Each structure stands twice: as structure tokens, then as C-alpha cells.
């Protein structure tokens, strides 16, 4: 074993680099790592934002489709009400007309001739009243169909 005399020994941990250079390298590595973490965080945030935007667009598209479908059902319901009302109105008009004809025949067949005029007028008055009522109800049915078909559907 050899004993060294009081001499300074230069021990280099990183041969060829000074302390300032080593410190600069360490700072550069730390900054690089921080930049990578920051970029990863930005990428994750961007991905999350894109996924949220995509989900939002899907939800809006689905809601729009449901609203259109509801509008179609609403329009079909209005059309059904109007067509049913029209059919009932026509049947009612036919019924009133047939009842009027039958009543006039009954007056002619069953009452004395001198009462035919008054009885015929009573039948006409009653049938006109019934025709007006049937017409009012038919118009109300059509209005109801229009109201249903044209109502605003909000989702």
C-alpha cells in the first residue's frame, strides 16, 4: 500500500465536464421531463375534449332524430283525427239526410193531408238544426286535427 503525501487528488466523477456543465445538463433533463409531462397532459386534455365533443354531437343528433320522429307521429295523429272526423261527419250528414227523408215519408203516409205543410216544415227545421250541429262538430274535429298536427313539439 502506498501512502500519499499531502497532495490534492483531483477526482472527476464525470470526466471532462465541469460542475456548471453537469448542473446545466441536469436542468436540461429536468426541463425535458417537465415538457414531456406537459405535452402528455395537453394530449390527454385534448383527447378528452374531442371525446366530449363527439359525445355531445351524438346526443344532439339523436335528440334531433327523436324530435323529427315525434313530429312525424304528431302529424300522423293530426291527419288521423281529421280523416276520422271527416268520415264521422259524412256518416252523420247521411244519417240526417236519411232521417229527414224517412220523416217526410212518415208525414205523408201517416198524417192528414192538411197537416203535411206544417209537419213538413217541422221536419225541415229539425233536420236543418241537426245538419248545423253535425257541421259544427265536423268543423271542430277538423280544427282539432289541425291543432294536433301543428302543435309545437318540444323535447
**Domain extent listing, the chain:** 53-150
Report whether pLDDT(80) > 80: yes
Helix, strand or coil, per DSSP, at residue 14: coil
Instruction: Tell me the backbone φ, ψ of residue 112, rounded to 5 degrees.
Output: -65, 150
Q: Nearest Cα to 107, choosing from 97, 115, 99?
A: 115
Torsion over CA: 61, 64, 66, 68 (sign): negative
pTM over 0.95: no
Question: What tens digit of pLDDT does each residue of 3-37 get?
Answer: 556 655 555 555 666 667 778 888 888 888 888 88
pLDDT of residue 142: 86
Q: In whole angstroms, how far apart are CA 55 and each of 19, 51, 62, 154? A: 54, 6, 10, 22
Instruction: Give me the percent of the chain exceeding a pLDDT of 90.
Output: 28
Amino acid at each position: 500500500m502506498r501512502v500519499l503525501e499531502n497532495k490534492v487528488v483531483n477526482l472527476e466523477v464525470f470526466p471532462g465536464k465541469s460542475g456548471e456543465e453537469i448542473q446545466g445538463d441536469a436542468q436540461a433533463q429536468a426541463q425535458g421531463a417537465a415538457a414531456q409531462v406537459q405535452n402528455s397532459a395537453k394530449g390527454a386534455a385534448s383527447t378528452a375534449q374531442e371525446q366530449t365533443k363527439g359525445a355531445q354531437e351524438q346526443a344532439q343528433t339523436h335528440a334531433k332524430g327523436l324530435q323529427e320522429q315525434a313530429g312525424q307521429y304528431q302529424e300522423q295523429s293530426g291527419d288521423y283525427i281529421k280523416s276520422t272526423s271527416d268520415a264521422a261527419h259524412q256518416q252523420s250528414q247521411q244519417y240526417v239526410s236519411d232521417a229527414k227523408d224517412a220523416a217526410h215519408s212518415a208525414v205523408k203516409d201517416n198524417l192528414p193531408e192538411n197537416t203535411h205543410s206544417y209537419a213538413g216544415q217541422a221536419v225541415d227545421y229539425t233536420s236543418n238544426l241537426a245538419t248545423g250541429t253535425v257541421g259544427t262538430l265536423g268543423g271542430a274535429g277538423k280544427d282539432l286535427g289541425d291543432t294536433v298536427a301543428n302543435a309545437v313539439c318540444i323535447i
